[in-house]
Every structure is written in structure tokens, then in C-alpha cells.
Amino acid sequence: MYDKYFEYFEIGETWKSRARTITESDLVMFSALTGDWYPLHTDIEYAKKSPFKQRIAHGMLVLSIGTGLTKMEPEIIIANYGIDQLRFIQPVFIHDTIHVELEVVDLKDKQNGTGVVTVKQSTYKQTGDQVITGISKALVKKEPEN
């Protein structure tokens, strides 16, 4: 999605990422990396007693994997500008497969050789259920003048 210069984006443009399956190793590595050992993510017996009846992936893990599924060209993307209205709608379980869908909803020319691309970012699992939503912004280069 973020593989072109600012002036080539269009409002209403959409893009769908490839898919990736969430694994138990993902949960363990994310817990170790972040220190988030909350038992709903890591303790099978605890999770069985929860409303979900099984362990769930960390919301931030799913968001991070979704970011990795979004194509970004390092020579064009300058920075992540943030995510507004972020919501974790439904749980993601081990062995669920997720993908991300993006829709350009706003373009703001910064008049300094860059622009801000605003997209509605939606993450879905293989059932078609939406699991994350948010409005993300990226600072993107304009095409250099020759």
C-alpha cells in the first residue's frame, strides 16, 4: 500500500494485505519481549475459565503483525503518524489467520516535500469477523523533482 509517493494516492483507494496465521510462539515471544504475561494470553487453565474459553492473542500483537502485513517502501514512508480511534473488537485466538484492509480516507499536503496519508485500517480473521479497527496516518514523501 505504502509503495508510492504521496501524490499518487487517491481518496477511496483500497488495498488488502496477504494473510498470516497467529501461533502460540507469537504469543510467547510477544510476552517475553514486552513483559506482558497476563494469564489470558499465557495460562491455559486461567483462559478456560474466561468468557473466551481459551487463550487470546494480545491486541497489540495482532496490531503489530497487521502492520507487518502492510507493504511499506522504506524509501517513501518517513514515519508512522499514529492511530486514532483504535478499537479491539473481537478476540484473536491461536491458529486464527488475519489480514488487513486499508482505505484511503484523507490526504493532507504538508507543502514541504511530504504529505500525510490517512487510512481506515481494518483487521479481519478467516471467519470474516473484524477484530481491529482504527484510523492510521503515515508521513509519506512526494516524488522528487528531477
pLDDT in tens, 39-87: 999 999 999 999 999 999 999 999 999 999 998 888 899 999 999 999 9
- pTM for this model (two decimals): 0.93
Closest CA to 89 of 121, 119, 111, 115: 121
Closest CA to 50 of 58, 39, 59: 39
Residue 20, C-alpha cell as written in the block:
498470516
- Architecture (CATH level 2) of domain 6-141: Roll (3.10)
What is the rounded CA–CA span in Å between residue 32 and residue 43? 14
3-state SS, residue 28 = helix
Q: Is the pLDDT of residue 146 over 80?
A: no
What is the rounded CA–CA span in Å between residue 6 and residue 98? 27
The ranges assigned to domains in the chain are 6-141
